[in-house]
């Protein structure tokens, strides 16, 4: 082959390669240019607009960790009083590691997702036994703790230890998807990993914690999950693609969830004027270790309830129909109806050893009842014989 022909062949290969790579290169370059622009304006906005939150006042590793776990699946305003009570009773890792399970769950009562509380205690015990009671600062070591994933490890390591690790949650995924008009499925773990990798090089090394908190703040207060984003308040309004194109309703993309399973239940508030029957749920599974009212796993008729009570040896003095209620879990819904069953005195019921007779005044202090039963636990505050109950007498 002549030198001229050889040179022409090499040029052809280069042209072919360039033609194949150009669309991808343009897309990557476009995305990178946008990401490179986000930090300065974001931090300036955050310095002016950030909310005053109790866990930000003293961002110790322990306080950051507990707050981030509480904030998962829970609104900021709902978390504030829980965080204050938790810190007052369990001010450090050692106290958390040693707390009684019932007391821990009572502190958590109403926040939901109770496995978070159990994982906190288990991780605290790990920290005491494996790290001398000091929260590890290394991202990889944090990931070894019970209940800590990449988001929490990123938040703790960046906010408390100033390490440049992204903390990517649903808020951040939504914000970045809209910024880039990225139609990837944000429920896919590979997409989360990619966003973490994309953010790591653009994090300011001197303010990684503020950068992460600013992204979360932007998603919580401006680039809202429900309803139109407040684009006029956004520090990225000059270059955010959905803001420029008016396409926010199309982003982020997320695979449809499976329909929840519906379970019918009949809740029985069996009580005297001073005591009520509770059952402790198993140590594993949904609402593990919490207390509940006896229940029938069906929408029972009045006659079916009376038959069930008869088999348990319960003689009702009066029965009252309580309102229907619904509680939504991640993968299921409970559709509940209820009855208040008044008896003269409580006696052992059937063969169920998990049933307890509890003084109603002790419940608020010592017996965590999940919010799933809120519509029925409210009746425990009504003193029989003193205040008229609000149900329908049967």
Q: Which residue has the tokens 């930000």?
A: 56
Rounded to an integer, what distance in angstroms lies between the CA atom of residue 252 and that of residue 223? Answer: 11
Q: Could you tell me the CA-to-CA distances from 349 to 223, 346, 357, 379 in Å, in that order?
A: 54, 8, 10, 22
Rounded to an integer, what distance in angstroms lies between the CA atom of residue 278 and that of residue 353? Answer: 11
What is the 3-state secondary structure of the chain? Answer: CCHHHHHHHHHHHHHHHHHHHHHHHHHHHHHHHHHHCHHHHHHHHHHHHCCCCHHHHCCCHHHHHHHHHHHCCCCHHHHHHHHHHHHHHCCCHHHHHHCCHHHHHHHHCCCCCCHHHHHHHHHHHHHHHHCCCCCCCCHHHHCCCCCCCHHHHHHHHHHCCCCCCCCCCHHHHHHHHHHHCCCCECCCHHHHHHHHHHHHHHCCCCCHHHHHHHHHHHHHHCCCCCCCCCHHHCCCCCCCHHHHHCCHHHCCECCCCCCCEEEEEEEEEEECCCEEEEEECCCCCCCCCCEECCEECCCCCHHHHHHHHHHCCCCCCEEEEEEEEEEECCCEEEEEEEEEEECCCCCCCCCCCCEEEEEHHHHHHHCCCCHHHHHHHHHHHCCCCCCCCCCEEC
Bridge partner list, 359: 275
Q: Give catalytic status of residue 68 as yes or no.
A: yes
Tell me which of 68, 109, 292, 320 is the catalytic residue.
Answer: 68
Catalytically active residues are 68
């Amino acid at each position: 082959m002549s030198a001229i022909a050889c040179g022409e062949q090499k040029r052809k290969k280069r042209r072919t390669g360039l033609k194949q790579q150009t669309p991808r290169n343009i897309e990557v370059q476009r995305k990178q240019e946008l990401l490179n622009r986000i930090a300065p304006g974001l931090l300036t906005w955050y310095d002016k607009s950030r909310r005053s939150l109790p866990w930000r006042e003293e961002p110790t590793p322990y306080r950051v960790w507990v707050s981030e776990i509480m904030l998962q699946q829970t609104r900021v305003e709902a978390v504030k009083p829980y965080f204050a009570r938790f810190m007052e009773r369990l001010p450090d890792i050692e106290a958390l590691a040693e707390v009684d399970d019932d007391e821990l769950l009572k502190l958590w009562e109403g926040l939901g997702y109770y496995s978070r509380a159990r994982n906190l205690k288990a991780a605290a015990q790990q920290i005491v036994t494996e790290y001398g009671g000091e929260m590890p600062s290394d991202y990889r070591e944090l990931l070894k703790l019970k209940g800590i994933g990449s988001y929490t490890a990123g938040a703790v390591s960046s906010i408390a230890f100033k390490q440049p690790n992204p903390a990517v949650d649903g808020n951040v995924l939504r914000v970045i998807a809209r910024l880039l008009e990225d139609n990837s499925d944000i429920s896919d773990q590979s997409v989360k990993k990619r966003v973490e990798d994309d953010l790591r090089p653009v994090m300011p090394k001197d303010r990684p914690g503020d950068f992460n908190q600013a992204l979360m703040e932007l998603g919580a207060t401006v680039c809202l999950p429900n309803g139109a984003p407040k684009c006029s308040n956004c520090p990225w309004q000059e270059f955010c693609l959905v803001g420029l194109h008016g396409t926010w309703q199309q982003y982020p993309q997320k695979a449809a969830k499976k329909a929840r399973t519906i379970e019918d239940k009949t809740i029985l508030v069996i009580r005297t004027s001073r005591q009520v029957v509770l059952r402790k749920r198993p140590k594993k599974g949904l609402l593990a270790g919490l207390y509940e009212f006896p229940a029938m796993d069906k929408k029972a008729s009045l006659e079916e309830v009376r038959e069930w009570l008869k088999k348990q040896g319960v003689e009702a003095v009066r029965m009252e129909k309580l309102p229907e209620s619904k509680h939504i879990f991640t993968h299921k819904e409970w559709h509940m109806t209820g009855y208040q069953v008044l008896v003269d005195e409580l006696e052992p019921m059937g063969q169920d050893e998990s049933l307890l007779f509890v003084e109603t005044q002790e419940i608020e202090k010592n017996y965590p009842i999940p919010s799933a039963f809120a519509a029925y636990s409210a009746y425990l505050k009504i003193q029989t014989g003193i205040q008229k109950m609000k149900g329908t007498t049967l």
